[in-house]
Amino acid sequence: MPEPLPPAPAAKPCPICRRPAEAARFRPFCSARCADVDLGRWFGGAYAIPGPPPELDEDPPDSAGL
Ligand SMILES: [Zn+2]
């Protein structure tokens, strides 16, 4: 009698942004952007990321009055 297989492991976090890589299409990454980031590293650190980085919600410090 074979042993029962363990339950399928949960989706591993994206190695780039640590978010759950739920989209099987881009695994092990969470999105095409993170895949591009990793690809850019392979090409010698020359990042080729389309669009601005995702962390630009905060106002720049220069916006404050002097
Ligand atoms: Zn990611």
What pLDDT, on a 0 to 100 scale, did the predictor assign at position 34?
A: 92
What pLDDT, on a 0 to 100 scale, did the predictor assign at position 17?
A: 93
Find the 21 Cα to ligand 1 centroid distance in Å.
7
Task: Give, in order, the Cα–Cα distances in Å from 50 to each of 4, 20, 29, 61.
Answer: 45, 21, 16, 25
Residues of the chain with pLDDT under 50: none
What pLDDT, on a 0 to 100 scale, did the predictor assign at position 8?
A: 66
Find the 29 Cα to ligand 1 centroid distance in Å.
5
Find the 8 Cα to ligand 1 centroid distance in Å.
21
Preceding peptide of 7 cis, ω within 30°: no
Find the 30 Cα to ligand 1 centroid distance in Å.
4
All residues with CB under 5 Å from ion ligand 1: 14, 16-17, 30, 34
What pLDDT, on a 0 to 100 scale, did the predictor assign at position 33?
A: 93
What pLDDT, on a 0 to 100 scale, did the predictor assign at position 24?
A: 83
